[in-house]
C-alpha cells in the first residue's frame, strides 16, 4: 500500500513547477513534497496561516503546526499570518495547485471529501475554499476503497464543491476531467484497460494518445 501511495505522490509531483504555491491536503498528498523532480522547489501554503512551510521538524515547536495539526518546520523566508490573510490568498487565486484526497469524485468533476453522514470525520478544513480558489485541483487517491468504487457517475456523499476537479491521479492511472467526461490519459503497466474500467463506476473515455504511467 505504501509503495502504491508513493507511486501516486511521484506522479502528482510531476504536475508541479518550480516556484509554484501549493497546498497539500492531509494524508497521501503530504507525500508529494518529498517526491518532487530534481530542480523543482515549491512553496507550501497551509490554510491556518503559513507560507513557506517545510517538512517534519528536527526539533518540535508545539506552536508550529499545519492545518492538519501536524508539527512542521518553516523554511528560511517563511511567513506566518492570520487565517483571514490566508484565505484571502486562497480566494484571490494565488495558490497554483491544491492536492487533496477524496471520498468520492464523479464524471462531472464534482468532489465529496469532507463528511460521511453519521460518522466522525475531521471536517472540511479549508477544502471548500481551496477547490474553488486554486488554479488547479488534483485529486490524489487510491482508485477504490476496499474494492468499492470511488470514481462514480454521481457523488453520493455531500459535495465539497461541484465541477472543481481538473485531474485525478491514482495507482492505476491519470484521468483528466473534461466537458465530455473522464478521459484516461495514462495507464500504469500493472493494469489493463479492463482492470481500470472495472474499478471505475462511470465510463472512461480513452485518450487516443494513451501513455504508460511511470513509477
User: What pTM was estimated for this model as a whole?
Assistant: 0.95
Q: Pick the closest to residue 173 from 158, 191, 159 (CA basis).
A: 191
Catalytic residue among 47, 104, 171, 186: 47
Q: What is the predicted pLDDT for the residue at 215?
A: 80
Dihedral of CA atoms 28, 33, 38, 41 in degrees, nearest 10, equals: 150
194 annotated active-site? no
pLDDT band at residue 43 using 50, 70 and 90 as cut-offs: very high
Q: Where are the alpha helices (DSSP H) in the chain?
A: 2-13, 83-91, 127-133, 193-198
pLDDT higher than threshold 80 for residue 73: yes
Of the candidates 56, 98, 92, 94, the one whose C-alpha atom is nearest the C-alpha of residue 74 is 56
CA distance 181 to 126: 27
Q: Is the pLDDT of residue 121 over 80?
A: no
The per-residue pLDDT for 46 is 94
80/128 Cα distance (integer angstroms): 22
Q: For residue range 141-190, what is the model confidence (pLDDT) as tens digits?
A: 999 999 999 999 999 999 999 999 999 999 999 999 999 999 999 999 99
**CA–CA distance, 205 with 173 (Å, rounded to integer):** 13
Mean pLDDT over all residues of the chain?
95
Q: Looking at residue 194, what is its pLDDT?
A: 98
Amino acid at each position: 500500500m505504501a509503495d502504491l501511495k508513493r507511486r501516486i505522490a511521484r506522479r502528482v509531483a510531476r504536475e508541479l513547477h518550480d516556484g509554484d504555491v501549493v497546498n497539500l491536503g492531509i494524508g497521501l498528498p503530504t507525500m508529494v513534497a518529498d517526491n518532487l523532480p530534481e530542480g523543482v522547489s515549491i512553496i507550501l501554503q497551509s490554510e491556518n496561516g503559513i507560507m513557506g512551510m517545510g517538512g517534519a521538524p528536527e526539533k518540535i515547536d508545539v506552536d508550529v503546526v499545519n492545518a492538519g495539526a501536524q508539527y512542521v518546520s518553516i523554511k528560511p523566508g517563511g511567513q506566518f499570518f492570520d487565517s483571514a490573510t490566508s484565505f484571502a490568498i486562497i480566494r484571490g487565486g494565488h495558490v497554483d495547485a491544491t492536492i487533496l484526497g477524496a471520498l468520492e469524485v464523479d464524471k462531472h468533476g464534482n468532489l465529496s471529501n469532507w463528511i460521511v453522514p453519521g460518522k466522525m470525520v475531521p471536517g472540511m478544513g479549508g477544502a471548500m475554499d481551496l477547490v474553488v480558489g486554486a488554479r488547479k485541483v488534483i485529486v490524489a487517491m487510491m482508485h477504490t476503497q476496499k474494492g468499492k468504487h470511488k470514481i462514480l457517475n454521481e457523488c453520493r456523499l455531500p459535495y465539497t464543491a461541484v465541477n472543481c476537479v481538473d485531474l485525478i491521479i491514482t495507482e492505476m492511472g491519470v484521468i483528466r476531467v473534461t466537458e465530455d467526461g473522464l478521459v484516461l490519459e495514462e495507464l500504469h503497466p500493472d493494469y489493463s484497460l479492463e482492470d481500470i474500467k472495472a474499478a471505475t463506476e462511470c465510463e472512461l473515455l480513452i485518450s487516443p494518445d494513451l501513455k504508460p504511467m511511470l513509477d
